[in-house]
Amino acid sequence: MPRIVGDWTLDKLKIIEQYLPAYLTATYKASERVYIDAFAGPGRNEIKGSGNIVNGSPLIALNARSAAGKVFDRLYFIELDKTDADELETSLVGRDPHRRAEVIRGDVNTELPRLLGRISPRSPTFVFLDPEGIDPEWETIEALAASQTELLINFPLGMAINRNPDSAKVTKYFGTEAWRPLWEAGSLRASRLLALYKERLSDLGYVHQVEDSRLVKAEGNRRLYYLIFVSKVPVAQRIMRSVFKQPDAAGQPRMNLFPEGQ
């Protein structure tokens, strides 16, 4: 069964759909191009209240093509939930005749570092990290940094952290205790935690970042999460910066109603 999601999901899916063809164009000289979806889900989504079924990020990546017809040579979809993994494998039937995609069942903090051992560190690799909670652990991010990767990350705005202010899981997420005093910053909590996370990504070599991370909101301008994009190459930053400035999935102009500094 497709996953039931809010219509705000269309915004991040549109970003993926717009960026990946440009990524494939920019990496056309590489011997192989790799896509990793670390929290893949079932492959298809049903928009709550409408009944509309749309492709999720795994199927968008599978279908992605550059203007010259380049595609991802290998795609890896990591999913812990058995039902979702089964559904994703079913969704791939008939859509992946060349068997470019593989569903990996298990926890991202175990499976993603293991997967990187199968990929050349020189292969351009786009990694989408779209968790529902406080994941992945920072050690997993560190493992990614050893390869030619760029990351699109769902940062949970502090909402999940709010529910676990004393949780060791939060420290594993940031890889440092420095989040604790920032969590006490009241109304500035989200922006300061975001700045800490992006600074630590920069320290790993992901110095080319879209400065104004994309804020995804639900009805009534309720803030859900930021989308963080980081890369090691400037051309990726320029392309994603342009994508982030595009209207959202509903066609609304991009307006940062809640800047990162607030």
Number of folded domains that form the chain: 1
Residue 2: predicted pLDDT: 80
Q: What is the pLDDT of residues 47-88, one digit of tens each?
A: 888 888 999 999 999 999 999 999 999 999 999 999 999 999
Secondary structure element (H or E) that encloses residue 37, with its range? strand 34-37
Residue 189: predicted pLDDT: 84
Q: What is the mean pLDDT of residues 217-242?
A: 86
Range of the domain at 56: 3-244
Q: Which two tokens stand for residue 96?
A: 């992946």
Q: How many other CB atoms are found less than 10 A from the CB of residue 171?
A: 17
Nearest to 85 by CA among 109, 110, 61, 56: 56
Q: Which two tokens stand for residue 61?
A: 């990546």
Q: What are phi and psi of 223, to 5 degrees?
A: -75, 130
Q: What is the pLDDT of residues 169-196, one digit of tens each?
A: 899 999 999 998 888 877 788 889 999 9
In a domain, 251, yes or no: no
Secondary structure element (H or E) that encloses residue 79, with its range? strand 74-79
Compute CA 237 distance to the chain's CA centroid, rounded to the nearest angstrom.
15
3-state SS, residue 38: coil
In a domain, 167, yes or no: yes
Cα–Cα distance list, 145 to 113, 115, 123, 173, 204 (Å)? 11, 14, 13, 15, 6
In a domain, 132, yes or no: yes
Preceding amide of 21 cis, omega within 30: no
If 0-12 CB within 10 Å is exposed, 13-18 middle and 19+ buried, where does residue 80 land?
middle
Average pLDDT, the chain: 89
Residue 208: predicted pLDDT: 97
In a domain, 262, yes or no: no
pLDDT for 225 beyond 90: no
Task: Give the gyration radius of the chain's Cα atoms.
Answer: 18
In a domain, 181, yes or no: yes
Residue 72: predicted pLDDT: 98
Nearest to 78 by CA among 102, 113, 57: 102
In a domain, 254, yes or no: no
Q: Which two tokens stand for residue 131?
A: 């968790």
CATH (domain of 117) = 3.40.50.150
Secondary structure element (H or E) that encloses residue 139, with its range? helix 138-145
Q: How many other CB atoms are found less than 10 A from the CB of residue 194?
A: 21
Q: What are phi and psi of 120, to 5 degrees?
A: -60, 135
Residue 252: predicted pLDDT: 58
Q: Which two tokens stand for residue 260?
A: 């990162």
In a domain, 229, yes or no: yes
In a domain, 74, yes or no: yes
CB-based contact 226:244 (threshold 8 Å):
no
